[in-house]
Amino acid sequence: MPGFYGADIGQLRALAKTMAQHSDKVGALSTELGQLLSRAPWEGRDAVAFRADWLSEHRPTLQRVAAGLRDQAQELTRNADQQDRASAGAAGSGGSGKPDSNPPGDPGPLDPDRPDVDVPGDVREDPDAGDPGDIRQGQIGDCWLLAGIGSVAQTLEREDKLDEFLAEHMRPVGDPATQWVVTLHEDGEPVEVTVEAKSTDGGVRGEDGEPSWLSIYERAAAEHRGGSYDDIDGGFSHEAMELMTGRSADKDGELDLAEIEDKLAGGQAVSVGTEDTKDDDFDWVWESDEVNRTDVVPNHAYVVVEVKTNDDGEKVVVLANPWGPSGGFMSGDDDRKAGTLELTEDEYKENFDSVYSVDTK
């Protein structure tokens, strides 16, 4: 229209969601075709040649398409967020230099037939807030978020700074709290996100099965990234670290355990990602045969708890699965996935290929 400059924020978010959904479909198609091909009773020279073409050309092409759609979806979401902040700034915020708190929009429940669950009390007082074993990922594919935030919380707890951090980054509204204002970060700048003191049924829980401070963080992340829990279904742990701390986080490929140990010793929070069928800059499309152990979840993020020397004198890395210490099962897979892993250097490198870290000092 004449004189219009900017964007329709609602349409940008709707387009971003549609692109993300089609990205998921292309990724799922790649996975399904790969599984069908691997199980097909076809042997001989032609079969070998066809499978080689699939692995070297056709599957990577589908993955690049999926990655491109996902990247564009994320870019549209960022543009919508920027437009939203720009519009809020134009309306005036008192000149504080800090982005306005967004109006409570709240992501809808995962299942409309299962209403949101109240998150009672002051969740900042959770005595297990920094314990990776207190994370129970629900039905959302946000291991990247929970592993990233969990690794930061663990590191802050070890430095005796977690209580202070949560007090500064989570503010209750009402007594008892009916809403929470969570300070997240976008491009290093603080952004206040207001959400109801609720969690979706099927969201993250604590070890006792009850909603926790992470339930509020999960809700705030969903609201900030697009307004739906679908918007946090897939991502990278370094993004979660930056979202939580506002500091630039690193995404590395395969590192030696000694290098990971140095990061931990330097006060960095560290999480790692398992092998999958991704491009180097995209890690959500997977096939189960990409990991070497049956107790490891493919295309999954874990919190690095520590690197130590075991009783046999070998250096090992201890990893916490966001599913919780008891682990669990993947759909259609009879092998239990471990909740805690203790891996030697070789075992680690056979199953993991990404390291995410951020300085918390």
Q: Are strands 179-186 and 268-274 parallel, antiparallel or unpaired?
A: unpaired
CA–CA separation, 47 vs 360, rounded Å?
Answer: 51
pLDDT number for residue 101: 44
Handedness of CA 42, 43, 48, 50 (dihedral sign): negative
- Output the pTM of the full model: 0.71
Residue 3 lies in a domain: no
The residue out of 89, 106, 129 marking a domain boundary is 89
CA dihedral 166, 168, 173, 174 (to 10 degrees): 80
Residue 241 and residue 125 share a domain: yes
Closest CA to 210 of 138, 113, 312: 138
- Going through 197-300 in order, the beta strands assigned E by DSSP cover 198-199, 250-252, 268-274
Which of the four pLDDT bands, split at 50, 70 and 90, describes residue 7?
Answer: low
Residue 302 and residue 283 share a domain: yes
For 263-293, write each residue's pLDDT tens digit.
999 999 999 999 654 444 444 443 444 678 9
- What would you report as the CA-atom Rg of the chain, rounded to the nearest whole angstrom? 21
Between 322 and 81, the higher pLDDT residue = 322
**Across residues 75-100, what is the average pLDDT?**
53
Residue 254 and residue 239 share a domain: no
pLDDT number for residue 233: 93
Among 10-19, 145-154, 169-178, 254-263, the range scoring the smallest mean pLDDT is 10-19
Residue 103 lies in a domain: no
- How many CB atoms are located within 10 Å of the residue 213 CB? 25
Residue 238 and residue 173 share a domain: yes
Residue 212 and residue 133 share a domain: yes
**Across residues 52-80, what is the average pLDDT?**
78
Handedness of CA 85, 102, 190, 94 (dihedral sign): positive
The CATH number linked to 79 is: 1.10.287
For 195-242, write each residue's pLDDT tens digit.
999 999 999 999 999 999 999 999 999 999 989 999 999 999 999 999
Whether 313 and 237 have beta carbons less than 8 Å apart is answered as no
Residue 342 CA from chain centroid, whole number = 22
Residue 298 and residue 276 share a domain: yes
Residue 78 has pLDDT above 80, yes or no: no
CA dihedral 246, 250, 151, 72 (to 10 degrees): 70
Q: Is 302 helix (H, G, I), strand (E, B) or coil?
A: strand
The CATH number linked to 347 is: 3.90.70.10
Residue 45 lies in a domain: yes
pLDDT number for residue 105: 64
Residue 122 and residue 241 share a domain: yes
pLDDT number for residue 165: 97
Residue 276 and residue 166 share a domain: no
The residue out of 212, 245, 278 marking a domain boundary is 245
Residue found by looking up tokens 């140095």 in the block: 262
Closest CA to 214 of 318, 355, 109, 119: 119
Concatenated DSSP letters of 35-56: HHHHHS---SHHHHHHHHHIII
Number of domains in the chain: 3
Look up the domain containing 329 and give its range. 250-359
Which string of b and e fits 41-79 if b means at least 16 CB within 10 Å? eeeeeeeeeeeeebeeeebbebbebbbebbeebbebbeb
Whether 321 and 327 have beta carbons less than 8 Å apart is answered as yes
Residue 205 lies in a domain: yes
CA–CA separation, 182 vs 191, rounded Å?
Answer: 8
Residue 236 and residue 254 share a domain: no
CA atoms within 13 A on the CB side of 170: 30
The residue out of 89, 109, 141 marking a domain boundary is 89
Among 10-14, 34-38, 130-134, 330-334, the range scoring the smallest mean pLDDT is 10-14
Residue 68 has pLDDT above 90, yes or no: no
* Residue 121 phi, psi (nearest 5): 75, -175
pLDDT number for residue 2: 43
* Residue 134 phi, psi (nearest 5): -95, 5
pLDDT number for residue 162: 97
HEC string of 155-189 equals HHHHCCCHHHHHHHHEEEECCCCCEEEEEEEECCE
Whether 324 and 133 have beta carbons less than 8 Å apart is answered as yes
pLDDT number for residue 254: 84
Residue 101 lies in a domain: no
Residues with Cβ within 8 Å of 231's Cβ and at least 6 positions away in sequence, in order, are 17, 20, 77, 107, 222, 225
Residue 304 and residue 225 share a domain: no
pLDDT number for residue 83: 65
Residue 260 and residue 237 share a domain: no
Mean pLDDT across the chain: 85
For 121-169, write each residue's pLDDT tens digit.
999 999 999 999 999 999 999 999 999 999 999 999 999 999 999 999 9
pLDDT number for residue 23: 72
Whether 139 and 185 have beta carbons less than 8 Å apart is answered as no
Residue 146 and residue 51 share a domain: no
Query: Over pLDDT 90: what percentage of the chain?
Result: 59
Residue 104 lies in a domain: no
pLDDT number for residue 276: 54
